[in-house]
Amino acid sequence: MTKAIQIKHIKIGEGIPKICVPLTSSTREALVQEGKAAKEAGAELVEWRADFYEEVTKVEKTVETLEELSRVLGELPLLFTLRTEQEGGKFSEDETTYETINLAVAKSKKADLIDIEALSDRETKKELIRKLSREGVKVISSYHDFEKTEDREGILRIYESLKESGGDILKVAVKPKEFEDVTRFMQATKEVTNRTEKPLIGISMGNTGSITRIAGENFGSSITFATVGAASAPGQFRLRELRMMIHSLHEKNKE
């Protein structure tokens, strides 16, 4: 049974999936405007996809931008993500730089959550997650596969490996080739919710998997992602329409 995690005013892993809006601009000025737009649109939390930021390798600049975003967002929880090229992002620097930036963000106390790609160089990432946790930040242990969806046993192994990494929330995003991949992924994710107290995020990407962005309440996914501006991953809905669909399904679930 899932044990909810309190992040500022929201509980992740309880009730309707929380809607997170990614910020993907390359400059501080544009990011601030994106953040304001996400807040005004009713986002429940915001993800800064810092791999899009043009000065991300300048640690001091990155922390300053994070501080500005935190000020603009106020009580909105802020997730910091440095998505690597290997998992569908823009960040191409080495593991040392990846760790340095994430640790600086944690030490700044301005991010509520940090996403760590936990299954590449596993022991290094496990130690990094321990360091981040000591700074008081919650960690999303994540894995992204833009090529395929594993069989049931493979999906369960991925979730188990993420759990072993020490993160507070476990995120798996996969690419379906057919709808049967989507249903298998949802069923496996639902199975994992009965095995762990950690909140899960399960996403089947693209149009084929769009149901997973709506029906998280039904199969155990606690956060979903929507756009106000540009999409950060295939298959994302706009915030307003996603909120409407999630709440409509929630009401149907109560009947």
- Check 138, 144, 175, 198 and give the catalytic one: 144
Give the global pTM: 0.95
- Residue-level pLDDT at 110: 98
Chain segment 50-91, per-residue pLDDT in tens? 999 999 999 999 999 999 999 999 999 999 999 999 999 999
Q: Rounded mean pLDDT of 243-251?
A: 93
User: Is residue 141 a part of any domain in this protein?
Assistant: yes
Here the CATH number for the domain that contains residue 76 is: 3.20.20.70
At residue 230, does pLDDT exceed 80?
A: no
pLDDT at 1: 79
Whether 171 is a known active-site residue: answer: yes
* Catalytic residue flag (residue 144): yes
Element (H, E) at 51: none
pLDDT number for residue 255? 77
Asked if the structure places residue 7 within a domain, the reply is: no
In this model, does residue 231 exceed pLDDT 80? Answer: no
Number of domains in the chain: 1
25 pLDDT higher than 80: yes
Is residue 1 domain-resident? no
Nearest-angstrom CA–CA distance, 229 and 210? 18
Domain membership of residue 89 (yes or no) is yes
Q: What residues make up the domain containing 152?
A: 12-254
**Residue 6 domain-assigned (yes or no):** no
In a domain, 3, yes or no: no
Query: Quick check: is 5 in a domain?
Result: no
Q: Which is the catalytic residue, given 110, 138, 171, 175?
A: 171
Residue of 210, 253, 231, 238 whose CA lies nearest to 19:
238
Chain mean pLDDT for the chain: 95
Q: Is residue 75 situated within a structural domain?
A: yes
At 144 the pLDDT is: 97
222 vs 109: CA distance, rounded Å: 24
CB-based contacts of 232, cutoff 8 Å, min separation 6: 22, 24, 47, 49, 225
